[in-house]
Amino acid sequence: MRFKDKVAVVLGASAPGGCGWATAVALASEGARVVAAARRTEPLAELARKTKGLAVACDITNPEQVRALAEKAVATFGPIDIAVNAAGGPGIGLINDTTREKLQEALDLEYLGSVYFIKEMAARMQNGGAIVMFSSITSSQPSMPHFAYACAKAATDCLVRYAALEYGPRGIRVNSIQPGPIKTDMAAHLYAVPGVEERFAAEVPVGRVGVPADYAEAVLWLAGPCYISGASLPISGGNQLTRMPRMDEIPLGFAAYNKDRAE
């Protein structure tokens, strides 16, 4: 087992079958003692049973709650070895329609929360540990209509480089992964539109969109004894070599992203 008796914290793990959930299950299957956290607590109880771990309610935008999560992990299992931040949201919207409130929401969730997470996890982490952040290929490859989300993710990728420098002397490696199009329950309404999945897959050299297991395996690799730090790795089936579809190329266009659209 790659992570026998290692302590792993996974934040953003409440969506059954999602990327955080899949990562927590994969870490547990490799022997890690997993602390799963998210704002929604009901699904977490099921995940804790599945991984024989611990469920903790935590809103990443609240620094006190992030600190409490780290302290709870240490109090229960001991110093942290692996910390994964998979928390995030789609942040749909255009520059023309944005407001200060929408911008702040994206920054709080995708960037400021990442700062809190790295700070509090590293403070309670074993020397030689690993921190992995979920970013997005949209941070470097524009994909309308995700500008606020993507810009905040770009800030997180920059944060990863600074964190790798700051915590490197302790042997702590800090990296991010940049998923391309992901087929999860969160995006089910988008892929339910006939032709959408095929249009995204057409821009992926390996011919399909990603699934949570693809990203969980990438996280496990970065959490292991690899000689990588300060990197933002595209996990996209090669989509970083092409482009994302334009909105006018997607069936229904902007409306395809709206969960409340009229069918």
pLDDT cut 70: percent of the chain above it: 98
DSSP conformation class of 40: -
127 pLDDT above the threshold of 50: yes
The string of pLDDT tens digits covering residues 73-111 is 999 999 999 999 999 887 788 999 999 999 999 999 999
pLDDT in tens, 140-169: 989 888 899 999 999 999 999 999 999 999
Query: 3-class DSSP state for residue 15?
Result: coil
| 263 pLDDT above the threshold of 60 | no
Please tell me whether the overall predicted TM-score, pTM, comes out greater than 0.85 for this model: yes
Q: What is the pLDDT of residue 41?
A: 85
User: What average pLDDT does the structure give for the chain?
Assistant: 94
- pLDDT for 262: 38
Can you give the pLDDT at residue 204?
A: 96
Per-residue pLDDT tens for 35-55? Answer: 999 998 888 999 999 999 999
DSSP 105: H
Q: What pLDDT, on a 0 to 100 scale, did the predictor assign at position 172?
A: 98
Percent of the chain with pLDDT over 90: 82
* pLDDT computed for residue 261 by the predictor: 47
Q: Which residues of 28-65 are buried (b: 16+ CB within 10 A; e: fewer)?
A: bbbebbbbbbbbeeebbeebbebbebbbbebbbbebeb
pLDDT at residue 260 in the model: 58
d(Cα 22, Cα 33) in Å, to the nearest integer? 15
Q: Could you tell me the domains of the chain? A: 7-257 (3.40.50.720)
